[in-house]
Structure 1
């Protein structure tokens, strides 16, 4: 099978990018022809492990322009292109979380690429790209839309576009049972499937639960709730000043989070570690994982932490954590955005190494459900069924 994945920026470090590359690695190893297409390229190197047999192409190469995912605009020479690049998009809704990366020029470039496809399976990976594919991609392609966010977090204009455009797909894939229910209510006649994302590997060194380190990871953005985690840690530090919170990731809220650390005098207890390519090693060195998000799709870094036998303390946010965790088994779920409850749960695990070991062992067992060997055959089966049904196999 020829399978193309369309990503906004395949050279970034987000969870969607990582999970798509995990899928690509497994499918190319199974003998399929896999290509990853990046709308925008702003780095030389892919940031995650990717099989050399996976082809990678880009539609807009901005490496010679100013640094950053939008610096490519400065490299445009044609006045018409410059004007389009500074014109709001026509199809992508203003409420799409990544709308800042889209403009009329991007829409034209992506549309032209999609209209030129002649074969295979096209998988698009966010609402903006799903909408563009529904509008531009030829019907002779098998078209699959991936949704990595729960419907409840999308803004009204995005939901309206989902209702208009998603029925045109051969299948729409969602991550959780809750997602399947929610999308089903507004897309009753659309072929919906629930396929969770897979971790990149189950072959990880487990924690021994002895080090006084907790890890959190994700983009330093409001969604991830680190502005709530730091005040929670201030309460934790009163009881356990010898424990350390290490937050991995980069993003636009770094300065604000640094100021919050200083406000609570947590200079030695909370560290902003930046981006790392050795997160597996850092997880092995820790004794628990913390998820403080306001919302999630399926929290993949949390599940990656579970492959290291780490217990989890998480807000019961929409959606994802409760799809993976049972409170009191693999970790603790506390009410969403309840800073005091988050602190209390962290303290409880810090007080009890035997509890960390018990929950961490259960976490490792549950993580098996997200192993590549458990998840990726579901994609292969779906693609085969869609090709057969379309008569294009």
Structure 2
């Protein structure tokens, strides 16, 4: 009944909707005041877009007084469910009815957040709405008014989601104007999922990588006998594997230390593993890094031991300081960021001895370490915020143009689904490239809502 009422309203709104407009950009984020790669990436992008757009980050919850990362100039932050007073209300006692139970952040959502999210999304009258995780993208796809352009951004990778979540993604994401992945590998995974399920795909499937954040401090001299890693202390980051590998490194190079920066639920277990292996003076859990730039500038190597990733910002941060990278070749991200033997070393995923050997290779060969550090600087430059920001600008302006059913003013910086960044063929901004996918009109969104009800 509710869906039918919304569909009727959307049909009425579609008839009187103003022309599509991309000036207002709203980015849905789970908790803007927290810490993590997705939050840092969103702030980075929002700051760039705020140069020419009206940008607001919409945080679903607020459980910390102030943002951990500085809010970029020109960006506003809105909180839908402010939990600081600790008076959550009756609706907060009930679980979400809109977010899949297998969604990794399901425990953050309640019936209260459902209602506030839907109310906010339905209140929008113009502009672009960008979601940043499956739960938010699914709600936006179902409830966004027809005049709103919606973008589902993937900050992890499709295979990292639970099967029921992936099923809902392939069933629902086709209602979005665009789905944006971080890597080409994940873009292909999304393509295959829509084809296999025989579901409608969004008008645009695009890949836009993360940008290199601009950090304080200079380039590392690569003289300290220190290896660092930065990230949440979770199972997915694989720090249990790294500690086991470091036991072998410490046996060969006891003068070197490993410093792990970040907080999270596995801190006690990781510390127990360090104690068990007698590494208390070799491996240190440093807690969250207040100044990531300074931490990396004092390191001679960065290690990524993740079991899975999207596109790890920490790799780009390390490279921007001229620090070579040793990384597990996990799905997805590292293979598209690190060129083995050029700016870092890739190691077969979850292999303990192989990780130890790769770290020791860079410890023992200072010339190789310095060559890779110099090349890492060049790699980071290709992901400069101005370069990646321009691709986002072109993507968003292209979506507005599609809604107008007119070709964009110029070529877009993203390639058609399945094309590489260097593809010299047709761009989706050309009439031929746009032909397979109909322009996403407000009426089209309403029609898809009707079909899925």
TM-score, structure 2 normalization: 0.81
What pairs with 1:238-387 in structure 2 (closer than 5 Å)?
238-387=251-400
Aligned mates of 1:36, 1:250 — CA distance in 2: 24
Q: Which has the larger radius of gyration?
A: 2
Deviation at 1:204, TM superposition (A): 5.2
**Cα pair 1:349 1:356 within 8 Å, conserved:** yes
Q: Secondary structure at the match of 1:106?
A: helix
Deviation at 1:42, TM superposition (A): 1.4
**Cα pair 1:204 1:307 within 8 Å, conserved:** no
**Cα pair 2:289 2:295 within 8 Å, conserved:** no
Deviates more, 1:170-179 or 1:102-111: 102-111
State the Cα deviation string for residues 123-178 of structure 1 (Å, max 9, x = none): 01000000010111112101011001111111110111101110000001100010
Q: Secondary structure at the match of 1:355?
A: helix
Residue of structure 2 aligned with 1:32, choices 49, 53, 70: 53
Aligned mates of 1:105, 1:59 — CA distance in 2: 9
Please name the residue that 1:20 is paired with: 42
**Cα pair 2:44 2:72 within 8 Å, conserved:** no
State the Cα deviation string for residues 315-370 of structure 1 (Å, max 9, x = none): 11011000111111111111100011000111111111111101111111111121
Aligned mates of 1:56, 1:350 — CA distance in 2: 44
**Cα pair 1:248 1:274 within 8 Å, conserved:** yes
Aligned mates of 1:94, 1:116 — CA distance in 2: 26
Aligned mates of 1:230, 1:211 — CA distance in 2: 20
Residue of structure 2 aligned with 1:210, choices 217, 223, 228: 223
Please name the residue that 2:116 is paired with: 109
Q: Secondary structure at the match of 1:370?
A: coil
Deviates more, 1:93-102 or 1:225-234: 93-102
Change (3 A) 1:203 1:276: closer
What pairs with 1:31-180 in structure 2 (closer than 5 Å)?
31-65=52-86, 75-77=87-89, 82=90, 84-180=91-187
Aligned mates of 1:340, 1:132 — CA distance in 2: 44
4+ residue segments displaced more than 2 Å: 49-52, 84-91, 187-190
**Cα pair 1:249 1:275 within 8 Å, conserved:** yes
**Alignment coverage as a number of residue pairs:** 378
Deviation at 1:203, TM superposition (A): 7.2
Aligned mates of 1:36, 1:76 — CA distance in 2: 22
**Cα pair 1:202 1:368 within 8 Å, conserved:** no
1:11 and 2:67 are equivalent in the alignment: no
**Cα pair 1:309 1:361 within 8 Å, conserved:** yes
Change (3 A) 1:284 1:41: same
Aligned mates of 1:57, 1:101 — CA distance in 2: 17
Unaligned residue ranges in structure 2 (runs of 5+): 1-22, 196-200, 407-453
Please name the residue that 1:181 is paired with: 188
CA RMSD of aligned residues (A): 1.4
**Cα pair 2:219 2:297 within 8 Å, conserved:** yes
Aligned mates of 1:276, 1:150 — CA distance in 2: 26
TM-score, structure 1 normalization: 0.93
Deviation at 1:299, TM superposition (A): 0.8
Q: Secondary structure at the match of 2:173?
A: helix
Q: Secondary structure at the match of 2:382?
A: helix
Q: Secondary structure at the match of 1:187?
A: helix
Q: Secondary structure at the match of 2:318?
A: helix
**Cα pair 1:176 1:194 within 8 Å, conserved:** yes
Aligned mates of 2:259, 2:243 — CA distance in 1: 11
